[in-house]
Amino acid sequence: MTSARPEHEYDPLTDPLPQGSHESPWFRSDNPAPEASAPVQEPASGPVYPPGPMGAPEPVAAPQEWYEPVPPPYQQDWYPAHEPMPEPMSGPVTTADPSATAPIPAPAPIPAPISEPISVAEPTAAGDSTADPASTRAMPAVVVPPATGGRAERRKAAKGKGRAAPAPAAAPATAPDGRRLTRAEARRAAKARKDSPAVIASRVLGEAFITLGVVMLLFVTYQLWWTNVRAHQEAGSATKKITQDWADGRKPGTFAPGQGFAIMHIPKLDIVAPVAQGTSKAKVLDKGMIGHYDEGGLKTAMPSDPTGNFAVAAHRNTHGEPFRYINRLKAGDKVVVETQEAYYTYEITSELPQTPPSNVSVLKPIPVGSGFTKPGRYLTLTTCTPEFTSTYRLIVWGKMVDDRPRSKGKPDALVG
């Protein structure tokens, strides 16, 4: 039976824990409180089995292990004297065996950087299972230290991870049977791989030929294209200057070498080119102009002279090539020479396809081989032949058929 609790008895639910008390408040609520007058019984030395809710005894720890006093520091930290104690447990309390509790594992130690050499086996033939363990060789391990330092150093280290690794060193030379070559054998193999003097000479000769071919191609382009461009520009400028002098009323006189004084028209070939004094290549012919023979023993007549042979020369190829197609002129075709005072019209009569450069008789007042037999006013056109060479000369002759002052207008050959 449960007796009434005396007024002076300690109530664990409402009364605070007395200072210095070592009694534990953890007891079952269904246990009867001891009488105030009854002496406190010492707990038995054996195990205590409080009644459980199911009527079966449950194993509990010994009293001295179960009601262990709480040290004062923890009592003050956990359960202050001015706060109520927690509700007692309504059921039996079992205490696990401390020896059965699994200990907390200690943190694993951080592995130290690898500094020992790694054994790498030498490569063996495929399918060879008799590799000798002693044939392994030690290779130093490559340890990449972690990035240290500030943020900038870590960023640089992160960027360096994406870069390509350096190329591995070349493997030692091996023989066809798989064995490593000796030093003498390696030297002989390296020497055999070198090019022979004949191969080097042929390579140098081939490069020289290629360079020469490129230079020749550039030279041909310059001769056949660029010289014509420049000559046409200079001839056009000379024609404009001649016409400007005529418009200014400049009187003709003795013309200096290279000075333009007339304009030649060949309607059939669609040629309009200035005529300058002399046959100098640098001053006249290479500038796309037609040169008048008037130097030394090759002095010829002017168109205004009453008799004589007006002989001129020009390039057939390159440098404007004004006389390139004079071989197409036929008997009866017209050639007009325009000067400051008049228009002189010549009619083509004959041609000499080929003659040596030394044959200057074609430039005489009565040209040899032209068919003319008496003095008159003649025209002689000379140029090189065959094309792109200067081995021979091509000669075309004509005779004057019209002498018209500029005041009477252009001749019919130009009007048509």
Question: Which positions ≥6 away from 161 have C-beta within 8 Å?
Answer: none
Distance CA 182, CA 170 (A): 16
- Find the catalytic residue in 265, 292, 315, 316: 315
406 catalytic residue (yes or no): no
324 catalytic residue (yes or no): no
* Dihedral sign from CA coordinates of 206, 212, 217, 218: positive
- Find the catalytic residue in 265, 319, 377, 393: 393
Question: Which positions ≥6 away from 414 have C-beta within 8 Å?
Answer: 265, 267, 336, 343
Question: Which positions ≥6 away from 405 have C-beta within 8 Å?
Answer: 341, 342, 343
* Dihedral sign from CA coordinates of 299, 304, 309, 311: positive
- Find the catalytic residue in 265, 319, 377, 384: 384
8 catalytic residue (yes or no): no
CB 375 within 8 A of CB 306: no
CB 345 within 8 A of CB 404: yes
Distance CA 331, CA 393 (A): 19
Angle in degrees, CA 188, 190, 192, rounded to 5: 70
- Residue type, position 318, single letter: T
What positions carry a catalytic annotation? 315, 384, 393
